[in-house]
Structure formats: C-alpha cells, structure tokens
Amino acid sequence: MTETTATPETTEPEVLTEIDGNVLVITLNRPKAKNAANAAMAQQMDAILTEFEANDSLYAAVITGAGKTFCSGMDLKGFLKGEKPSIEGKGFLALTQQTISKPVIAAVEGYALAGGFETMLACDMVVAADTAKFGIPEVKRGLAAAAGGLVTLPQRTHRAVAMEMALTGDIYPATFGKENGFVNRIVEDGKALEGALELARTIAANGPLAVKASKRIIVESIDWSTEEKFAKQQEIVDPVFVSADAKEGATAFAEKRAPQWTGK
C-alpha cells in the first residue's frame, strides 16, 4: 500500500496508510483542521479503499484520525468554495454509500461529528476512547445529515435515538454510543487505535473467505424475507465450505497448529 500524493498546499497527504501484518491502518491526516474532510481527502480515500479491496494479503482495515480527533465532518471552507468531500456513487470519503467486502473498524479519539460520525457508521465496528464525542449537528448549520446519519443510524440503533440525534444536533459521549449500540468497545483515552488493532488482528487471524462471507450475509440479510434467508445464505457459504481454507482450518485444528490461509 503506497501513500497518496499530497496536494500543493500541504506537506504530506491528507490520508496516510500503514500496514500492520494483514491489517491496513488508514489515518485521516488534517489535524490542524480537526481532520475536516475536503475533496482531496475523499479522492485519496477512494484510491486507498480500491487498492485495499484488490489486495488479497490485507484482511481488515482500521480507520483513525491524526491529532486526537477522528473527523469533524465536512470542511465548511471547502464547501463554500463548491468542494464536495465525496465520490459519486461511493459517498462521503468514498465510504458511506458503498460496502467494503472486508471488515473495517473505526478507531475514534476526540470528535466524530457530522460526516465524520457518518464515516464511522459506515465502518463495521467502532472502538472509541472514553473521551470520544459523537454527533450529527448538521441541523444547527441549516443542513441535513445526508451521508448516513438519517438512513444508516436508524439501522445501528433505536429509531428514537436516531431521531433525537438528528433533530437536536447535540453532542453525545462515548458511553451513549456503547449503550445505544453503535460503539463496540470503549478504551482509555489515547488507546483507540491500539484497541482497534487488537480487534482487527483477531479478525485477520481467521479465514478470510469465511470472514468476508459472514460480513456479506450480515449486511445483505437485512433485506431478506424469512422464507428466503436460509437459501440466500447457503448460496454465499457453500463456496466457503468447499474451499482450500476450510480444509486447512480443519487440518490445522487436528494438528494443533495455526492455520496458513490462502484465501482460496
């Protein structure tokens, strides 16, 4: 995974990448602007996520923010200039309208607001520092949380909770997110990335075909009827059960060793 090129007005890219074993770490990198998303950041995220999907040696990704902030949302200065921090068909930061086939975990320190909160919601799991703050304050600016706050949040929590967050625009603590189902784990301040990497490494140690199939079923089955859900599930899991990885998993268990996955 190579880092993207910086724009002329910056000294380094708006998004940084690092590989930790089979895990890709993606860092939103505009700390002086509290990682507010601009067009350049969205374009770089698009390239990074496309490469992540295509790289068979990467099993999971963690998205975090530089400078003790996850993402404060859209860069309003850029918005006033006509910039959009989104990619057509893929959404805010090239993530909120698409489903990545591999697990993506958000590591949240500080604020995840507006588009930043919606980017977090687009991730499969969330590890948050106990000092993290969440909110979709768009209504306070005469805008609407159209990058997932209004359509994704109700699927991740109770309707009444989503309604309150969207209509008040208030800011909420990490404990609120854990209590209402959109935060998986809360860790000490400064430990969100460490906690997310621990979770990502645990996932990446499992069979990649099985992980991808499991995620796909959980994502897609929300639209399946009771009558069709097991048949549709079977179509997705059948190739997993006859894969080389399935045989390797059983063999490794019998031989009391760690499996060597090939993704085949």
Q: How many CA atoms lie within 13 A of 132 on its CB side?
A: 37
* Residue at a domain's end among 182, 204, 226: 204
Q: What is the mean pLDDT of the segment spanning 8-28?
A: 88
Alpha helix positions (H), the chain:
39-54, 76-80, 115-122, 153-156, 159-168, 174-179, 192-204, 208-220, 229-241, 244-254
Reply yes or no on whether the pLDDT at 3 is more than 50: no
Residues 168 and 247 occupy one common structural domain: no
198 catalytic per annotation: no
pLDDT tens, position by position, 147-165: 999 999 999 999 999 999 9
Choice among 138, 179, 220, 228 that is catalytic: 138
pLDDT tens, position by position, 26-59: 999 999 999 999 999 999 999 999 999 999 999 9
Task: Give me the count of residues in the chain.
Answer: 264
Residues 174 and 233 occupy one common structural domain: no
Residues 197 and 72 occupy one common structural domain: yes
- Amino acid letter, residue 132: A
Choice among 118, 198, 227, 235 that is catalytic: 118
Check residue 2 and give its pLDDT: 40
Confidence of residue 10 (pLDDT cuts 50, 70, 90): very low
Which residue matches tokens 């992540």?
52
14 catalytic per annotation: no
Residues 226 and 105 occupy one common structural domain: no
Give the domain range for residue 61.
15-204
**Each residue of 70-90: b (16+ CB within 10 Å) or e?**
bbbbbbeebbeeebebbbeeb
Residues 34 and 75 occupy one common structural domain: yes
Residue 264 resides in a domain: no
Overall domain count for the chain: 2
Strand 104-108 relative to strand 125-129, pairing:
parallel
Check residue 5 and give its pLDDT: 43
Mean pLDDT of the chain: 94
Residues 117 and 53 occupy one common structural domain: yes
**Each residue of 40-63: b (16+ CB within 10 Å) or e?**
bbbbbbbbbbeebeeeeebbbbbb
Residues 118 and 240 occupy one common structural domain: no
